[in-house]
Amino acid sequence: MGRHALPAAPDGAAGTGPVERRAGAAVSVPQVDTAVEPRRPRGRRSAFGPAVARSTFVEHTKPARTVSMSAARPVASTAVAGAAVLSRSAVLRAERAADPKHIRRAANAKRAAILLAPALAVTSSLTLAVPANAATPSTDAHHGTTTSQHTQTYTVARDVEVPVVSTDGMTTTTTVVSYPTIVTKFGVSTQQAEDAISKVLSAGGDRATVVSTALQYMGDPYVEGGASHEGIDCSGLTMVAYAAVGIPLVHYVPTQDAAATTIPESEAQPGDLVVYDNEDHVGIFLGDGLVLQAPHPGAVVDIVPMYSAAHHFARVLPAGS
């Protein structure tokens, strides 16, 4: 017998197809659905096996994990033109105020400042020691004041009268020369300065003129490049002193030394030049181991002992002067 198709199954018998009779028995033939099968929802596979998993969706029983966010830290703000503007410095101050370590550090710093303040005050009031060659000037009969300049002691004697003795072979005349100020330094007493000045002025001649001219600038301030009572330097003092006897000198130590003749110390006389070997300074020899000079900025024209630095003597005045 041939195959005969049976009518379609009712609505309640979905999934069955036409019935084929074979060998006297009815066999149901499954109907093939040509429509696209919808996608199976994804999920955890069942423990019953792959066959069941393909048709069964297992939901998660564990609730989803939740994460809580901490509340935002309050930030200090400053009002500018009615609007709130965040201030980084205010935030730092607030954090430091709440930080115990910062409070302890601030307290320790304050205590250290209180403890160190007396030591700093004592240190700032200390002065350097006076050089060994700057002995205290001896007390003499003249009224004067002792002061300190660049940690070097010196004495200022005022209204000093120096006797000048002159003779013409028949008559001896004593003249008193008054100086408003005589400045001595490094242990030279006023009496020593008077004696040296009296000797050179009593000898007379060009040397006396050179020394007396230079003494007129005693006590005037040192000014680099100066050659007047408003200010004068070392080579300016020798220049104006020798100009009084008609000898022009250039306002420069090396040139003055080059124009002079170097002589040994044993032949040096008052009025000769005393020059540093490095050509950095020059003074006028007074005799008795004393030098009249314009020393350095901040000082005044004074009388000091012979230089301890390397030096030599130079003669500008002609022989016999």
Question: Which comes out higher in pLDDT, residue 107 or 285?
Answer: 285
pLDDT band at 258 (very low <50, low <70, confident <90, very high): very high
| SS3 label, residue 221 | strand
CA distance 120 to 44: 81
Q: Which of 39-48, 151-160, 194-203, 282-291 has the highest mean pLDDT?
A: 282-291
pLDDT band at 220 (very low <50, low <70, confident <90, very high): very high
Global pTM exceeds 0.85: no
Question: Which comes out higher in pLDDT, residue 65 or 234?
Answer: 234
The answer to whether residue 76 scores a pLDDT higher than 80 is no
Neighbours of 249 (CB within 10 A): 20
CA distance 265 to 255: 21
CA angle, 224 as apex, 223 and 225 as ends, to 5°?
110
The answer to whether residue 175 scores a pLDDT higher than 70 is yes
pLDDT band at 81 (very low <50, low <70, confident <90, very high): very low
What's the pLDDT score for residue 82? Answer: 44
CA distance to 12, 43, 101, 105, 108, per residue, from 96 (Å): 81, 54, 8, 11, 15
- Residues 65 and 52 sit within 8 Å (Cβ to Cβ): no
Q: What percent of the chain has pLDDT over 90?
A: 40
Question: Which comes out higher in pLDDT, residue 232 or 97?
Answer: 232
Q: What is the mean pLDDT of residues 93-118?
A: 70
Instruction: Please name the residues in contact with 102: beta carbons below 8 A apart, sequence gap of 6 or more.
Output: 96
Q: What percent of the chain has pLDDT over 70?
A: 54
pLDDT band at 213 (very low <50, low <70, confident <90, very high): very high
For residue range 1-20, list pLDDT tens digits in order. Answer: 444 445 555 554 444 455 45
Q: What is the mean pLDDT of residues 26-53?
A: 53
Q: Residue 316's closest CA among 259, 267, 254, 255?
A: 259
The answer to whether residue 239 scores a pLDDT higher than 70 is yes
The chain-wide mean pLDDT, for the chain, equals 74
Q: What is the mean pLDDT of residues 315-321?
A: 80
Distance, first Cα to last Cα, the chain? 174
The answer to whether residue 116 scores a pLDDT higher than 80 is no
pLDDT band at 157 (very low <50, low <70, confident <90, very high): confident
The answer to whether residue 106 scores a pLDDT higher than 60 is yes
Phi, psi of 181 (to 5 degrees): -150, 135
What's the pLDDT score for residue 107? Answer: 72
For residue range 282-311, list pLDDT tens digits in order. Answer: 999 999 999 999 999 999 999 999 999 999
